[in-house]
Amino acid sequence: MFTPPSSNLNFPAPLAVMAFLAAAAGTVLALAAAAIAWFARKPKFARACLLTLSLGAAAYVALLLGFSLVSRPHILTHSQEKYFCEIDCHLAYSLLDVKTEPSAGSTHYVVTIRTRFDETTTSPSRPKDSPLTPSPRTILLIDANGHQYAPVASKGTPLQTPLKPSDSYTTQLSFDLPPTAHAKSLRLLITTTPAWPDRIVIGDENSLLHHKTYFAL
């Protein structure tokens, strides 16, 4: 199993997906069994199903919060890549260049990022011409005080352009920071756009209380 040095997960992606699916299926089955047992006038079995469900939910929440609490913020340099793992960790993002341009009332930043399909993460049976479409990404520039700034413009290849193994492309994103922004220690956050069920996937950086991986400008 390929384990990237820096990614959006601190728990093995296949196990995270399997744990979520098992938890979802177990919840449905336990509730269905409890309901059937209740209507069949078997309250002891119904209570046993609900107790099993409660214990399973407690264990899952403990793992979810545990991996969030042991996570730490990571700051990557321009030479490092951040991988995104869904089931496999195929896509890697890196920060290639940063330019600043003073403008009236603000500082204009242009950052160039690269999206790469790491062909070494694919299995030999995967077709080499099979494309992969990236999930929606949220990209923010964050100053020393934690203020977040979204891109005001984008050039180059759109971030959701499909890639084949070994393909890569670059995207230029523009940000305008007001004079009140603390330009020191700026960080660039590239993350999957938060959505369900990311919030309850063990080890996902979008999950509750989980720290994130940034790029230093």
Angle at 20 between CA 17 and CA 22, to 5 degrees: 105
Tell me the per-residue pLDDT of 72-121, one tens digit each, with 9 for 90 and over: 999 999 889 999 998 889 999 999 999 998 777 788 999 999 999 999 98
pLDDT at residue 197 is higher than 90 = no
| This prediction's pTM | 0.89
pLDDT at residue 145 is higher than 70 = yes
pLDDT at residue 5 is higher than 80 = no
Q: What is the pLDDT of residue 86?
A: 82
- Model confidence at 3, pLDDT cuts 50, 70, 90, reads low
Neighbours of 9 (CB within 10 A): 26
Q: What is the pLDDT of residue 52?
A: 95
Q: Looking at residues 8-30, what average pLDDT do you find?
A: 93
Provide the percentage of residues in the chain whose pLDDT is more than 90: 76
Query: Residue 52 in contact with residue 190, Cβ under 8 Å?
Result: no
- Model confidence at 2, pLDDT cuts 50, 70, 90, reads low
